[in-house]
Amino acid sequence: MFIRLVTVALIVLTIIISHSFPWLKTPVIFSLCNGLAVLGVIVLIRAGQVSFGHAMYSCAAGYMVVFLARAYQLDGLLLIGLATSVATVFSALLGLFIVRYRGIFFGMLNLAFSMVLYSIISKFTTITGGTDGLSFTRPPLAGFVLERDAFETALLYVVLACALICGLLAQRYFESAPGQSLAAIKTNETRLEYLGISAKHVFWMGYLFSGFLAGLGGSLFAIAQGLVTPEAGYWVRSGEFVFIAILGGSGHAIGAYLGAFIFEFVRFYAAALLTGAWQITLGTVLIVIIFLAPEGLVGMLTRFRLPARR
């Protein structure tokens, strides 16, 4: 109940803030996009696995957006759909192989694949624009050709809708049988197998879903930024996703967005106010969270309940 209240409050706040302070629109969009990718990481964290390479799906989707936008005059929404599908298929294929691994090996394999992708993108300068990346002009959105300001407002609502739907979807998934089996991989995989459930299959589904979320976040991010660089797939980005996931907490889908907002704004203000010391700030915030609220921000929310009605 309380979480639902927070969700509604967050949505209302997002809308109010972006309309009264137009410059906040971009950071809000960026945070929501990050939040989507982080939600993907959270899906895996529920299975006790951390991926240090999930930015590769965001990056792959981002490049798909750019390639398609530059080659054909497609609608923004279509671009998002196509790019996300490509990232999902990509994660499904890679997942076939990766879901066999656990723990540090799972993390490192994801990292290895993301670095291979990163290097390939950086190297094929003629196709990918190298490390400077590729930019593209604003695509029409649902058939409307918009100026930057209107475009951003429209995009904000698209991103918000995506975030909300995916949040609900993820929550449904967590509560469903496959979602519960996924969580069982963390607690005791062998027992899961003894129940006659294929842990690999369950994990593969989770991996696929997480790839989809990361891809969706990445394609929206690309559209918002109008530019994609290989930086989007670098391991530091993947590390950020994990960072945010811990910050927000994996107990509930809302954690991803809460974490992403806090992360974006802490970094933003730390970079602006304490030029040159934003890493200290972020690091300290993370340590404090882990020690005081190991369940993340979500953990703090669920512990704090509304008084029950009598």
Partner 1 sequence: MKRFNRKFGLIASMMVVLTLWAQLSLAQEKPAELKVGITTYVTGPASVFGVPAKAAFDIMIEEINAKGGIDGVKIAPFFIDEGVGTSGVLSEYRRANQEMGIRVMLAAISSGHCLALAPVAEDLKILNVMWDCSTERVLEDAKFNYVFRTQANATIEMVAAVIYLLRTKPDFKTVAVVNQDYAWGRDSWEIFINTLKALKPDVKVVAELFPKFGASDFSAEISRLQALRPDVILNTSWGGDLDTFVRQAAQRGLLKSSTFVMPLLESSMERIGDAVPDGVIAAGRGDHYFLHPETKNDPAHVAFVKKFREKTGAYPIYPSYHAVQSVIALKAAYEKAIKANGGKWPTIEQVAAAMKGLEFKGFGRPIKIREDGQGMEDQLYGITKKVPEYPFPVLDKMMFIPAELVTTPVGQKSPEYVKTISPEILKKEFKTYNYTK
Partner 2 sequence: MTTEMFILATLDGLSAAALLFMVALGLTLIFGVMGILNVAHGSLYAIGGYVAATLGLAIDKFGLSPALYLPALFLAAILIGPLLGTLLEVGLLRRILGKEHVLQLLVTFAAFMILEDVQRLVWGTQPYFVSNVMNQFGNTDVLGITYTNYQMIVLPVVAAVAYYGLRYFLTKTWLGREVIAMTFHREVATAMGVNAKLVSLLTFVIGAGLGTLGGALASPSTALLPGVGADMIVQSFAVIAIAGLGQLGGAALAACLIGLSRSFAVYLMPELAVLTPYIIMVLVLLVRPEGLFAATSMRRI
Closest distance to partner 2 from the beta carbon of 75 (Å): 36
In the chain, the largest separation of any two C-alpha atoms, in whole Å, equals 68
Give yes or no for residue 283 binding partner 1 (CB under 8 A). no
Closest distance to partner 1 from the beta carbon of 97 (Å): 26
Give yes or no for residue 278 binding partner 1 (CB under 8 A). yes
Q: Which is nearer to partner 2, 72 or 97 (CB)?
A: 97
Q: Which helix (H) or strand (E) holds 228?
A: strand 227-228
Give yes or no for residue 235 binding partner 1 (CB under 8 A). no
Residue 294 interaction partner, one of partner 1, partner 2, none, beta carbon < 5-8 Å per kind: partner 2
Closest CA to 199 of 166, 135, 207: 207
Separation between Cα atoms, residue 19 and residue 183, nearest integer Å? 39
Cα distances from 187 to residues 193, 210, 241, in angstroms, run 12, 20, 23
Residue 175 interaction partner, one of partner 1, partner 2, none, beta carbon < 5-8 Å per kind: none
In the numeric block, the tokens 């609900």 are attached to 168
Q: Which is nearer to partner 2, 97 or 157 (CB)?
A: 97
Q: Which is nearer to partner 1, 49 or 128 (CB)?
A: 128
Separation between Cα atoms, residue 213 and residue 41, nearest integer Å? 9
Q: Which is nearer to partner 2, 22 or 283 (CB)?
A: 283
Identify whether the C-beta of residue 33 lies closer than 8 Å to the C-beta of residue 220: yes
Separation between Cα atoms, residue 260 and residue 36, nearest integer Å? 9
| Radius of gyration, alpha carbons of the chain | 19
Give yes or no for residue 129 binding partner 1 (CB under 8 A). yes
The residue within the footprint of partner 1, chosen from 19, 123, 303, 305 (CB under 8 A), is: 123
Provide the binding-site residues for partner 1, judged by CB under 8 A: 21-24, 26-27, 30, 122-123, 125, 129-133, 135, 137, 147-148, 221, 225-227, 229, 231, 264, 267-268, 271-272, 275-276, 278-279
